[in-house]
Amino acid sequence: MDSVYIVDAGNTFLKLAHFRQGELISTSIFTTLDSLVQEIAHATKIVLASVRSVAFNAQFTKLFPQTFLLNANLKLPFMIDYETPETLGIDRLCNAAALIHRFPNQHALCIDMGTCIKFDFVNNQREFIGGSISPGMRLRYASLHQYTAKLPHLEASKSFDLIGKNTTEAIQNGVQYGILGELHYMIECYEAKFPDLTIIMTGGDAHYFDFGQKNNIFADENFTLRGIYELYTFNAATT
């Protein structure tokens, strides 16, 4: 594979990555499709992984007929031990592909912190087992505003204290310490069951939470993009 442009169409942002000869050359983030179009107008190879609507995917592939669309009919470089594989989002399959590629024959967990917080686990037999999905940070902030009469709509904070001294601080520490507690407890449960577990933290909100003190946890903000590339190259090689 020489030059490939990868588009990860998440619920909130459009992420673009340029791979050349298997190496990640550049990444960028867009809020609208119009702004992205100008960046890839010249591209001959485009891969789209989308959790958005069928209408969005149709619009994208109409603009770029050369697009390779990742979908549920993909060939996978791993087995799936999941009761409803047809309901799996393409982002979770991409995370699993990246885990299998980077940590072959190991127990590995991807924690993807975006619109939703997703835990995706693969075992040392190259099987995707499953994981969990919970509301992400922005969803939690938005819900407090939308489902109450007076609470404000706040943004994430890089610093949050244990005890909030005003409503803003109380919401921020409630949301972000709540997520931190969820992460710590879930990781503790996984590690109790799989002592040799390796963990990847990724997603746009991962940088708000520091797990650098643990030597089995690694941060890679482009992990899902790497998984998209792995699924694309695996399918291109077998077609």
What string of H, E and C letters represents the secondary structure of 94-156? HHHHHHHHHCCCCCEEEEEECCEEEEEEECCCCEEEEEEEEECHHHHHHHHHHCCCCCCCCCC
CA atoms within 13 A on the CB side of 231: 31
What are the counts of helices (DSSP H) followed by strands (DSSP E) for the chain?
A: 6, 11
The fraction of the chain above a pLDDT of 90, given in percent, is 82
Superfamily of domain 3-69: ATPase, nucleotide binding domain (3.30.420.40)
What's the pTM? Answer: 0.92
Give the residue-averaged pLDDT of 219-235. Answer: 95
Residue-wise pLDDT tens digits, 99-123 = 999 999 999 999 999 999 999 999 9
Q: Please report which confidence band the pLDDT of residue 214 belongs to, taking 50, 70 and 90 as the band edges.
A: confident
> Would you state the structure tokens that stand for residue 189, as one six-digit string?
């449960």
Handedness of CA 47, 23, 239, 124 (dihedral sign): negative
CB 5 within 8 A of CB 18: yes
pLDDT at 198 over 80: yes
What is the model's pLDDT at position 177?
A: 94
Q: How does residue 1 score in pLDDT terms, banded at 50, 70 and 90?
A: low
Q: Fold for domain 79-137+166-229?
A: Nucleotidyltransferase; domain 5 (3.30.420)
Give the angle 70-226-234 at the CA atoms, nearest 5°: 55
* pLDDT tens for each residue of 131-178: 999 999 999 999 999 999 999 999 998 888 889 999 999 999 999 999
pLDDT digits (tens, 9 = 90+) for 71-97: 878 899 999 999 999 899 999 999 999
Q: Collapsing DSSP states into helix, strand and coil, what is residue 90?
A: helix
Q: Model confidence at 184, in pLDDT bands (50, 70, 90)?
A: very high
How many Cβ atoms from other residues are within 10 Å of residue 227's Cβ?
31
Residues with a catalytic annotation lie at 91
Going from N- to C-terminal start, the domains of the chain cover 3-69, 79-137+166-229
What's phi and psi for 25, nearest 5 deg? -90, -45
The CA distance from 237 to 239, in Å, is 6
Q: How far is CA 181 from the centre of its chain?
A: 20
Got the DSSP string for 163-190?
S-SSHHHHHHHHHHHHHHHHHHHHHHHH
* pLDDT recorded at residue 212: 65
pLDDT of residue 25: 95
